């Protein structure tokens, strides 16, 4: 009977290691970006490398922590197996009271590992969160406000800078964030009601939106494409539909799309020339529909 239990316990670590080994090829690993835009790739067919340079540094931290945890996992299970198999053969248990050296060792080693992780991740954390570490050329592109149950996006008019308070010529969109590809962009994140979480899985970006606060978040799309925008905080019954899209296009196409949005939203619909109308039609083509 002992051997049944020993084998049962042994199955799980072995299964965990095997599942970890196959997960990248099954698409169960990091969120994948489409191989070709704007089509969404089959699981496992896309690139699990982040489109965001900071996202790749965050992934590196995941790998470092995965290796540390993997080594600890294997060592502890080898130790567990040694005790289980040894114990299965021994008939009388041995009792001893405490071991100071052992206790000091198993306190100091985890403490050292945790200190190492804490210091090792500081620079990446600073780049994500501390404004003096942001890229020098980062451009504020929009204010994104989470509300039950959508993302409201406020852009400055083309050629203007984003202001903290709404301006008469601001442009508005819902669930569709246009950004230029290949350069760092910054959004100001707000919430109108409850706590939401602004999440861009392909960029490895996740930031809570808090009522009463304006939180800057920066990221960069190295490639043009359509990327997922999610709310990752259970914010109410309609949380599931709080999805959007980040549309990254080359800077000239982005400028054209913003100009077209301005033409569409700032027009009063009167005295519109044919040119303007066709421009509006082309905006819809540029911004496209969510796939």
The smaller minimum CB distance to Cu ion, of residues 190 and 196, is found at 196
* Smallest gap from residue 247 Cβ to Cu ion (A): 20
The smaller minimum CB distance to Cu ion, of residues 48 and 195, is found at 195
* Residue 196 sits in the site that holds Cu ion (CB under 5 A): yes
The conformational region for residue 163 under phi > 0 = left, psi -120 to 50 = alpha, else beta, is: beta
* Residue 189 sits in the site that holds Cu ion (CB under 5 A): no
The smaller minimum CB distance to Cu ion, of residues 179 and 235, is found at 235
Provide the 8-state DSSP code for 211. B
**What HEC string does 267-284 produce?**
CCCCCCCHHHHHHHHHHH
* Smallest gap from residue 238 Cβ to Cu ion (A): 8
Strand order in the sheet with 150-155: 171-174, 150-155, 139-147, 185-191, 215-219
Binding segment for Cu ion (CB under 5 A), chosen from 30-38, 192-200, 211-219, 270-278, is: 192-200
Euclidean distance between CA atoms 31 and 123, whole angstroms: 23
* Smallest gap from residue 231 Cβ to Cu ion (A): 3
The smaller minimum CB distance to Cu ion, of residues 96 and 237, is found at 237
The smaller minimum CB distance to Cu ion, of residues 166 and 238, is found at 238
117-131 burial, b at 16+ Cβ within 10 Å, e below that, comes to eeeebeeeeebbeee
Burial group, residue 93, by CB count within 10 angstroms (0-12, 13-18, 19+) = exposed
Write the binding mask 206 to 245 for Cu ion: x where contact by CB under 5 A, - elsewhere.
-------------------------x---x------x---
* Smallest gap from residue 199 Cβ to Cu ion (A): 10
* Smallest gap from residue 200 Cβ to Cu ion (A): 14
* Smallest gap from residue 146 Cβ to Cu ion (A): 5
Write the binding mask 239 to 278 for Cu ion: x where contact by CB under 5 A, - elsewhere.
---x------------------------------------
Within residues 109-168, the interface with Cu ion by CB under 5 A covers none
The smaller minimum CB distance to Cu ion, of residues 193 and 253, is found at 193
> Considering Cα of 131, then 134, then 138, then 142, what sign does the dihedral take?
negative
Answer whether 84's CB lies under 8 Å from 9's CB. yes
- Strands, E, within 123-175: which ranges? 139-147, 150-155, 171-174
Q: How many residues bind Cu ion (CB under 5 A)?
A: 4
Cα Rg, the chain, nearest whole Å: 26
Euclidean distance between CA atoms 111 and 114, whole angstroms: 5
* Smallest gap from residue 207 Cβ to Cu ion (A): 12
Which residue(s) pair with 229 in the sheet? 244
The smaller minimum CB distance to Cu ion, of residues 38 and 236, is found at 236
Of the candidates 13, 42, 40, 37, the residue with the CA atom closest to the CA atom of residue 25: 42
The smaller minimum CB distance to Cu ion, of residues 224 and 246, is found at 246
If you write DSSP's letter for every residue of 27-40 in order, what string do you get? Answer: T-SSPPBPSSSSSP
* Residue 190 sits in the site that holds Cu ion (CB under 5 A): no
* Smallest gap from residue 245 Cβ to Cu ion (A): 16
Site for Cu ion, rule CB under 5 A: 196, 231, 235, 242
């Amino acid at each position: 009977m002992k051997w049944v239990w020993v084998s049962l316990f042994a199955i799980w670590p072995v299964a965990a290691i095997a599942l970890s080994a196959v997960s990248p090829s099954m698409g169960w690993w990091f969120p994948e970006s489409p191989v070709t835009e704007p089509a969404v790739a089959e699981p496992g067919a896309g690139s699990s490398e982040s489109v965001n340079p900071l996202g790749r540094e965050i992934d590196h931290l995941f790998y470092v922590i995965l290796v540390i945890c993997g080594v600890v996992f294997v060592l502890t299970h080898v130790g567990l197996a040694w005790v289980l198999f040894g114990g299965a053969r021994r008939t009388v248990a041995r009792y001893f009271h405490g071991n100071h050296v052992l206790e000091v060792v198993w306190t100091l080693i985890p403490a050292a590992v945790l200190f190492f992780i804490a210091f090792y991740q500081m620079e990446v954390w600073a780049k994500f969160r501390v404004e003096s570490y942001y890229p020098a050329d980062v451009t504020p592109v929009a204010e994104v406000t989470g509300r039950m149950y959508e993302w409201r996006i406020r852009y400055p008019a083309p050629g203007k800078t984003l202001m903290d308070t709404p301006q008469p010529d601001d442009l508005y969109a819902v669930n569709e964030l246009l950004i230029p590809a290949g350069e760092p962009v910054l959004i100001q994140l707000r919430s109108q009601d409850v706590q939401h979480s602004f999440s861009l899985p392909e960029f490895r970006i996740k930031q809570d939106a808090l009522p009463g606060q304006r939180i800057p978040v920066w990221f960069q799309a190295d490639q043009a494409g359509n990327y997922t925008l999610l709310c990752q905080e259970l914010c109410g019954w309609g949380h599931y539909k709080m999805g959007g899209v980040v549309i990254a296009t080359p800077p000239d196409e982005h400028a054209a799309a913003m100009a077209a949005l301005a033409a569409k939203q700032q027009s009063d619909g009167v005295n519109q020339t044919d040119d303007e109308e066709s421009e509006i039609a082309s905006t819809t083509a540029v911004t496209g529909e969510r796939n």
